[in-house]
Amino acid sequence: MMVLLSILLATAQVAAPAPQGEEAVAPYRVDPANAGAKPFSGDRMARQFGGQPGIRRIVDSFVTSNFADPHIGEIFKNQDAVRLRRVIFEQFCYILNAGCTYTGRDMRTAHTNMGVQQADMNRLVENLQRAMATERVPFAAQNRFLAKLAPMRSAVVQR
Amino acid sequence: MVPRSIYFVLLASVAAASPAAAQQGGGAGKLLLTNGISTVEGSSGGGLAPWAVISGNETRDGFGAQAAVTVVTLPDYDLKAFSVAVGLRDRLELSYARQSFDTNKVGGALGLGDNFSFDQDVWGAKVKLAGDAVFGPTWMPAIALGVQYKKSLDPLVARAVGAHERSGADLYVTATKLILNYSLLVNTTIRATKANQLGLLGFGGPNGTQRRVVPEASIGYQFSRRLVVGAEYRRKPNNLAFAREDDAWDIFAAYGIGGHLTATMAFADLGSIATVDGQRGLLVQLQGSF
pLDDT (average), residues B78-98: 96
CATH class of A28-154: mainly alpha
> What are the CA-CA distances from residue B92 to residues A113, B44, B53, B61, B177 (Å)?
28, 11, 9, 12, 18
| Model confidence pLDDT, tens digit, residues B39-73 | 999 999 999 999 999 999 999 889 999 999 999 99
User: Distance between CA A66 and CA A58 in Å, rounded?
Assistant: 12
Exposed / middle / buried, residue B6 (Cβ in 10 Å: 0-12, 13-18, 19+)? middle
- Per-residue pLDDT tens for B231-287? 999 999 999 999 999 999 999 999 999 889 999 999 999 999 999 999 999 999 999
Question: In chain B, pLDDT over 70 holds for what percent of residues?
Answer: 90
Chain A positions touching B131 (Cβ under 8 A) are none
B75 pLDDT exceeds 60?
yes
> Would you list the domain boundaries of chain A?
28-154
Average pLDDT over residues A126-130: 96
Tell me, yes or no, if A135 comes closer than 8 A to chain B by beta carbon. no
Say yes or no: B223 contacts chain A, CB-CB below 8 A.
yes
Taking the Cβ of residue A93 and every Cβ of chain B, the question of whether any pair is shorter than 8 Å is answered with no
Q: Does the beta-carbon distance from A119 to B28 stay under 8 Å? A: yes
* ipTM of the predicted assembly exceeds 0.95: no
Contacts of B102 (CB under 8 A, 6+ apart): B77, B78, B79, B80, B115, B116, B117
| Closest CA of chain A from B207, distance in Å | 47
Among B172, B241, B233, B236, residue whose Cα is nearest residue B199:
B236
Q: Is residue B257 a contact partner of residue B33, using CB atoms and an 8 Å limit?
A: no
Q: Which helix (H) or strand (E) holds B156?
A: helix B155-160
B229 contacts chain A (CB < 8 A) = no
- Indicate the DSSP class of residue A55: H
Contact A119, A41 (CB under 8 A): no
Q: Which among A95, A122, A139 is the top mutation candidate for probing chain B, defined by the most B β-carbons within 10 Å of its own β-carbon? A: A122
The two most distant CA atoms of chain B are separated, in Å, by 57
- Identify the architecture of domain B4-289 in CATH: Beta Barrel (2.40)
Asked whether the beta carbons of B83 and B42 are under 8 A apart, the reply is: yes
* Parallel, antiparallel or unpaired: strands B37-38 and B78-88: unpaired
Residue of A nearest to B62 (CA): A119
Structure confidence by residue, pLDDT tens digits, B3-46: 445 444 444 444 444 433 333 334 558 888 898 999 999 999 99
> Would the pLDDT of A67 be above 60?
yes
Interface test with A, best of B53, B225, B290 (most A CBs within 10 A): B225
Quick one: which H or E segment has residue B8? helix B4-24
Domain ranges of chain B: 4-289
Indicate left, alpha or beta for B207 from its phi (over 0: left) and psi (-120 to 50: alpha).
alpha
Give how far Cα B162 sits from Cα of B107, B165, B196, B243, B248, Å.
17, 9, 10, 10, 22
Nearest CA in chain B to A154: B136
